[in-house]
Amino acid sequence: MSEQDRINEHSKDKQLEPFRRDTGENLTTNQGVRVDDTNNSLKAGARGPTLLEDFHLREKMMHFDHERIPERVVHARGSGAHGYFQVYESIAELTKAKFLQDPSVKTPVFVRFSTVVGFRGSADTVRDVRGFATKFYTEDGVYDLVGNNMPIFFIQDGIKFPDLVHAIKPEPHNEMPQASAAHDTFWDFISLMPESMHMIMWVLSDRALPRSYRMMEGFGVHTFRFINEQGKARFVKFHWKPLLGMHSLVWDEVQKLAGKDPDFNRRDLWEAIEMGEYPEFELGVQIVEAEDEHKFDFDLLDATKIIPEEDVPVRPIGKMVLNRNPDNFFAETEQVAFHPGHVVPGIDFTNDPLLQGRLFSYLDTQLIRLGGPNFAEIPINRSVCPVHNNQRDGYMRQTIDKGRVSYSPNSLAGGCPMTNPENLRTFVHHAERVEGHKIRERSDSFKDHFSQATLFWNSLSEPEKDHLVSAAHFELGKVEHKEIRQRMVDLFNQVDHEFAKRVAQGIGVPEPTEEVMKNHKRRSPALSMENTVKDTVKSRRVAILAADGFDHSQLTAMQQALQNAGASTKIVSKFGGKIRSIDGQEIEVDKSFVTTASVMFDAIYIPGGQQSIEALKQQGDAIHFVNEAFKHGKAIAATSEGVDLLKQSDIAGAVMVEPQSSEPMTSRKGVVTALNGANLSAVAEAFVGAIAQHRHWTRTQKERVPA
């Protein structure tokens, strides 16, 4: 295989091919011996004891007994996808990384998205950071960008990681709560760790509730280095930007989803790829010249800080497309082993003490999780370029190394495999000059823990601020120890006085009286999700509520319009089976009220049809569907008699749903109505626009709507 062939979009796929296995016709043992019966163990007489001789039983049971491996200590619950990455144009001036040179090369990738805190079987939609780990199978070896959906971290030094994780995981005496930070040990720790304040603002924000893995940003978090062919080093921060924009769920919704569909984000990713709606992310970089290292009012080595995008713009350098679901969850998504230390020539580390801590942890944890030192040979982890070294043996060794030489230097194998520091494709560590005393100390340049927390707060829109305050009410409201709640309010008071007062009001502790830290009033618009992409409904899911006697032409016209815009629809009714329109046409119901809920959709549409609407009006589930979608800020459309269902619901008083005679159609705060079905194309256009807005947070009366 030529080098070029080896690195193309399909090279990883081809490499995996020999490992794939179909079900096969005949059931055999692991030795390939055909089995006569797998339903009855071998016994001495039909009612007699089982015989030790039953090799099929023993082998089957032995394998089953060992099917589980330890789950990841953090990021246990994940979802993977294959795809490729393509650079827009060569960035050779910045880095010699081979996969960032040639726009015609599609470098294969495998991505694993994850939650951090919950166990492997926990719900997807919890309030948490999301992992965003990408394995690039490049021509110069495997490069892992092991990032998160938040650009910073809780702690500045890796040595605090075990403490952080112990504090946030379920409490050790009773193993509660699952997949949640809302408990005493976490907030006890945080209230004593002011360096976590910036990250805490992100975790309390809507960023912690992504609508989809396809709609969240990713960040390398640490400052890394790019090294070009001339050996010039620059600082770099990595950003993934979703082409669909960043969008979130609402708190009430995520809690319901955790019960109704704990696989919500996983299913969303899987279905999108199956339907050809391939998730796309742009890779961007913020570059800082080496000589500018100290020009910021924070330290580039401090992982609790961002470089505001307005100060150093993010330069898009390429695009990743995820276009193939894994064949087997365990073999790929579970066994994949990421490591921030997997770098290729052209990408290097900095002295960020958090990053340095990570460099030890990942290999170490994989040793036990994947059962020995040979996990790089597991198909999903294999490099697509050749691997040669003197490593031998160990549990589960796959490679059959030929010859008698496994040491260096040697003469018997002509000195091979050789090292070659002169070759530009060889990884040579950046020769950074370092000097210092051996001390356990934090640099003074790491000591401002509040300015960027304030920057984040200042940059949010009003609805985002409201959500953040409510999140603090929930999280801290669950904390039993009042002194911990108090300490948090005192810390928040150093972020913003008004914010701290609002939090205090909801958690039963006195409001701070003094403004201890003057708000610097700086903002970074890039931090608000209000300023994200809002011009597409691609891959959005719309529920159409209907019953017998619905208006077929309205329903199908809306379906068509939504599909043309890239959204997909599901017909929801009381029961599964078929429903019949006024003019006798039958359509298949996709989901019944018991198998779905408004929380699984981005928007709802109610077509007319007297009989259909009369039936829906009698169904509490239909009314609830409307109320709940309204409360969660979702776009709602109703035409002709469909408007009556809105009037019957609790949203009638909350928005003006009755079109005026002078207005054939109304569209207010994401509720689109028309008494006349003839206006369907205008309704559809307004509805598509309303869905593209994602959510209509400014519905002032939504709090009064029960749901």
- CB nearer to ligand HDE: pick between 452 and 639: 452
Stretch that binds ligand HDE, among 354-362, 525-533, 598-606, 684-692 (CB under 6 A): 354-362
- The two beta strands, 233-242 and 280-289, are antiparallel
163 φ/ψ sector (left φ>0, alpha ψ -120 to 50, else beta):
alpha
Residue labelled with tokens 């890239």: 566
Read off the tokens for 350.
Answer: 């900095």
Q: Which amino acid is at 16?
A: L
74 binds ligand HDE (CB under 6 A): yes
Q: List the interface residues with ligand HDE, window 300-339 (CB under 6 A).
A: 336, 338
- Give phi and psi for 593, each to the nearest 5: -60, -30
649 binds ligand HDE (CB under 6 A): no
Please identify the residue of the shown chain whose CB is closest to the bound ligand HDE. 131
How many C-beta neighbours within 10 Å does residue 331 have?
16
Total residues at interface with ligand HDE (CB under 6 A)? 25
Q: Are 454 and 201 in contact (CB under 8 A)?
A: no
Residues 8, 41, 255, 365: which binds ligand HDE (CB under 6 A)?
A: 365
Min dist CB 438 to ligand HDE, Å, is 20
The answer for residues whose C-beta is within 8 angstroms of residue 440's C-beta and 6 or more apart is none
Residues 177, 313, 357, 371: which binds ligand HDE (CB under 6 A)?
A: 357
Q: Per-residue DSSP letters for 638-697?
A: EETTHHHHHHHSTTTTTS--S--TT-S-EEETTEEEES-GGGHHHHHHHHHHHHHT---T
Distance CA 77, CA 334 (A): 9
3 state DSSP class of 33 = coil
- CB nearer to ligand HDE: pick between 351 and 676: 351
Catalytic site includes residue 75: yes
221 binds ligand HDE (CB under 6 A): yes
Min dist CB 342 to ligand HDE, Å, is 12
**Among 82, 148, 381, 493, the one annotated catalytic:** 148
Min dist CB 120 to ligand HDE, Å, is 12
Min dist CB 75 to ligand HDE, Å, is 3
696 binds ligand HDE (CB under 6 A): no
281 binds ligand HDE (CB under 6 A): no
- CB nearer to ligand HDE: pick between 157 and 530: 157
HEC states along 184-208?
HHHHHHHHCCHHHHHHHHHHHCHHH
148 binds ligand HDE (CB under 6 A): yes
Stretch that binds ligand HDE, among 353-361, 455-463, 614-622, 683-691 (CB under 6 A): 353-361
How many C-beta neighbours within 10 Å does residue 7 have?
24
- CB nearer to ligand HDE: pick between 145 and 683: 145
114 binds ligand HDE (CB under 6 A): yes
- CB nearer to ligand HDE: pick between 240 and 625: 240
Residues 11, 12, 16, 78: which binds ligand HDE (CB under 6 A)?
A: 78
Burial of 328 (0-12, 13-18, 19+ CB in 10 A): middle
DSSP letter assigned to residue 228: -
Min dist CB 328 to ligand HDE, Å, is 16
213 binds ligand HDE (CB under 6 A): no
146 binds ligand HDE (CB under 6 A): yes
Q: Are 589 and 577 in contact (CB under 8 A)?
A: yes
Q: How far is CA 69 from CA 78, 241, 563, in A?
A: 15, 33, 43
- CB nearer to ligand HDE: pick between 81 and 105: 81
Min dist CB 211 to ligand HDE, Å, is 19
The answer for residues whose C-beta is within 8 angstroms of residue 2's C-beta and 6 or more apart is none
Q: How far is CA 352 from CA 303, 357, 601, 686, in A?
A: 7, 9, 42, 49
Min dist CB 355 to ligand HDE, Å, is 7
- CB nearer to ligand HDE: pick between 75 and 98: 75
Residues 296, 362, 427, 593: which binds ligand HDE (CB under 6 A)?
A: 362
- CB nearer to ligand HDE: pick between 209 and 599: 209
- CB nearer to ligand HDE: pick between 165 and 413: 165
Catalytic site includes residue 148: yes
Distance CA 584, CA 586 (A): 6
Bridge partner residues of 544 (DSSP): 571, 605
Positions marked catalytic: 75, 148
Judged by the rule CB under 6 A, the positions of this chain that interact with ligand HDE are: 72-75, 78, 112, 114, 131, 133, 146-148, 153, 158, 161, 221, 336, 338, 354, 357-358, 361-362, 365-366
